[in-house]
Structures are given as structure tokens and as C-alpha cells.
Amino acid sequence: MPRYAFRLCLLALLMFASVTTFAPRAHADAASEIQSVISDQLKAFNEDDTQRAYGHAADIIKKIFPSSQIFMEMVKTGYPPVYRAKSWSFNEPTPLDNGYSQIVRLIDEQGRNWSALYTLERDSAGEWKITGCRLLKSEGMV
């Protein structure tokens, strides 16, 4: 009986260790993936690559903006710092029930600081897609 109890404790310890080491690694993988998606969309905006930028939008966004041209025009007029970001950096993403939120620090063409709060979810194919972006002007200039 003591041998069985020892094996059971050892199994429980190994399971706990695998869960506690897997969670941070999974978070780090997700962080890298979502930051890559956002960076690629920002690069696509800078290059006027309408299809590539639109490809990162979630279906919910595509229902509101049913073509890449309409989407790009909305970003151009409503989100100029996102449309032509000179540079950007990422804070640590925050897990949500159905995805992540990601704060991105942007510097626009005039050197002004902005914060953009992105939300992302996985689509049916398992790819990260952008479900929203809120823009807030930050204090200071570069």
C-alpha cells in the first residue's frame, strides 16, 4: 500500500509540474503569434497591401466592412496612427475568456505617441484574427 501511495503522489506531482510549465509556455507562444499578426497587419497598412491587412481581420470585422477597400478606407480615416505607424512596441498580452487583448504602443508620422488596445481570437482554422482595436492618444512626443 505505501508503494501505491508513493506512486500516486509522484504522478500527481508530475501532472502538476507539467501543467504549471505548460501554461507559461503556451502563453508565450500565443503572445509571439498575436504580436506577429499585429505587426504584419501594421506593415501591410504601411505598404498599402489591402488584401494582407484585411486578411488579419476576424469575420466579425469583415461582416461590418465587407470588402478590403472599405476596410482600408475605414482604417485610413478613423485610425491614421495605425494606418501609418512609424514604429510600435508591445506590452505583455492579457488572456481573455475567448482570446487575448494586446496593448501596442505606436508612434505616428508626426512623432506622437498612441496606445492601441487590440483584441484577438482564434478562428475556426486556429489562426489568430483581430477582432477589434481601440486607439488612445498618449502624452508626449518622441
- At 107, is the secondary structure helix, strand, or coil? strand
Task: Judge whether 9 lies within some domain.
Answer: no
Question: Pairing between strand 128-141 and 87-90?
Answer: unpaired
Asked if residue 5 is part of any domain, the answer here is no
Count up the domains in the chain and report the number: 1
Which of 54, 51, 114, 111 has the alpha carbon at shortest distance from 82? 114
Within a domain: 71: yes
Residue 95 placed within a domain: yes
d(CA 18, CA 12): 10
Q: Map residue 124 onto helix, strand or coil.
A: coil
> Where residue 88 sits, what CATH number does that domain have?
3.10.450.50
Task: Note down pLDDT in tens along the chain; length 142 residues.
Answer: 565 555 555 445 545 544 444 445 556 789 999 999 999 999 999 999 999 999 999 999 999 999 999 999 999 999 999 999 999 999 999 999 999 999 999 999 999 999 999 999 999 999 999 999 999 988 754 4
**What is the domain extent for residue 73?**
33-141
Asked if the structure places residue 3 within a domain, the reply is: no
Pairing of strands 128-141, 112-122: antiparallel
Residue 109 domain-assigned? Answer: yes
134 in any annotated domain: yes
- 57: in domain: yes
